[in-house]
Structure 1
Amino acid sequence: MTAATPKGERRRQALVEAAAGLLVDGGFDAVRHRAVAERAGLPLASTTYYFSSLDELVVAALEFHGNVEYENGKARLAALDGVEGDAAFTDLVLDLLLGPPTEEGDAEQVLLRYERLVATGRRPYLRPLMRRLSGQLHALLLEIFLASGRTWTAERVEEIIALVDGAVVNALIEISPDPRAAARRMLDKAMQPR
């Protein structure tokens, strides 16, 4: 269903943003009709009025969240300047792959992010969207590495992502996990000239 009026578009967008927030905060299980409506400050019936299913709402929420992260990454890359050094580029790469750091620490946020990525594999309806978002992310990471003075290929970017993912998963099983620090160590090593 589509919203035919500006008010309808605003309500639909509020539902999408609320669902995206719930997805980030609690994963797929947190996105329920009632929770989305409450977070958006709208009647419960609005979720089924603007979306034919919960799956459709989840797709819209993931797409919204992915596009916001992508646009934020593009804006940060445009603001960077090669003189800032590797640390600024590394921070940007980690923020794109792990999400921005939080005051409470990264372990829970990163765990939720990886749970979402893995759970996407069990939701075939999300695969086309996730392939598109993944392609955008890979292209942006390649731009970041090129802007940092590295003449890397798309294949090298995939290796870096796999390296960060492995470091994060290994860090998450530690007693006091610090996935961002583990990923930074691996990324710093990988960014050294070969």
Structure 2
Amino acid sequence: MLQAAIDLIAEGGVQAVSHRAVAARAGLPASTVGYFFAAIDDLTAEAVRMYMAREMAAYRDLAREAGTLDKLVDLVGHRAVDVRLALAQVGVYLEAARNPALRGAAVEILSGFRALAGELLQSLDHPRAAAAAPAVVALLDGFMLAQLADPEAPIDPDALIEAIRALVMGFLLTWSTP
């Protein structure tokens, strides 16, 4: 059911999710979805949580494989964007701006990815991990949004890697004012 909801969000936005549509996509009787989720916003939020957990696990795997900050940046930069999942994520972000019932789920996604970025940077001994993490997530989301808006101009992994490196390294600098 949850994957069916994510698929529907990716295809038609949050408004495409209904009990009937999810049941049809999941190959279940129409009443099944309503039995588990009385409110469609609850189903949508839970699907988003599932998506977030899966994405966070993938990034943790990358961090274990990387071992160094430079290698992690390279792996993240070359990680293929799953357009369908990215559409679902952006769809939830946009709908959360209009629908307070989904705002908690969107905040969970953002908070989860920020915390994960902080953990990964901290595990690689970045001294300003907590400060850099939200900026790294915003940068990645921006690149993802650009990819979705113009699929004919795919993200240049090298440009993304350079942007992440510059951002992360920038947080290492000490800025002082005269």
For Structure 1 versus Structure 2, the TM-score category normalised by the shorter chain is 0.7 to 0.9
The two structures, once aligned, show a CA RMSD in angstroms of: 3.1
Give unpaired runs (5+ residues) of structure 2.
174-178
AA of the residue aligned to 2:76: L
Partner of 2:2: 16
Structure 1 unmatched runs, 5+: 1-14
Q: Which amino acid aligns with 2:75?
A: D
Equivalent residue for 2:73, pick from 89, 110, 117: 89
Query: For 1:175 and 1:56, how far apart are their aligned partners in 2?
Result: 31
Give CA-to-partner distance per residue, 1:109-148, whole Å, 9 cap, x none. Answer: 6455323322222121122233233222111101222334
Higher relative contact order, structure no. (Cα contacts within 8 Å, ≥ 6 residues apart): 2
Structure 1 position 191 matched with structure 2 position 165:
no
Distance 1:64 1:153 in 2: 26
Report what 1:33 is aligned to: 19
TM-score, normalised to structure 2, is 0.73
Q: Which among 26, 51, 54 is matched to residue 68 of structure 1?
A: 54
Q: Percent identity?
A: 23
TM-score when scaled to structure 1? 0.68
Question: Which has the higher mean CA deviation after the structures are superposed, 27-36 or 52-61?
Answer: 27-36
Distance in 1, matches of 2:149 and 2:6, equals 27
| Residue number in structure 2 paired with 1:146 | 122
Q: How many residues of Structure 1 are paired with residues of Structure 2 in the alignment?
A: 170
Alignment partner of 2:34 out of 33, 40, 48: 48
- Note the C-alpha offset of 1:166: 4.1
Structure 1 segments, 4+ long, off by >6 Å, are none
Q: What is aligned with 2:81?
A: 101
- For the residues of structure 1 that align with 2:78 and 2:99, how far apart are their CA atoms? 26
Q: Is the 1:25–1:109 contact (alpha carbons within 8 Å) kept by the matching residues of 2?
A: no
Contact 2:122 2:129 in 1 (8 A): no
Q: Which residue of 1 aligns with 2:176?
A: none
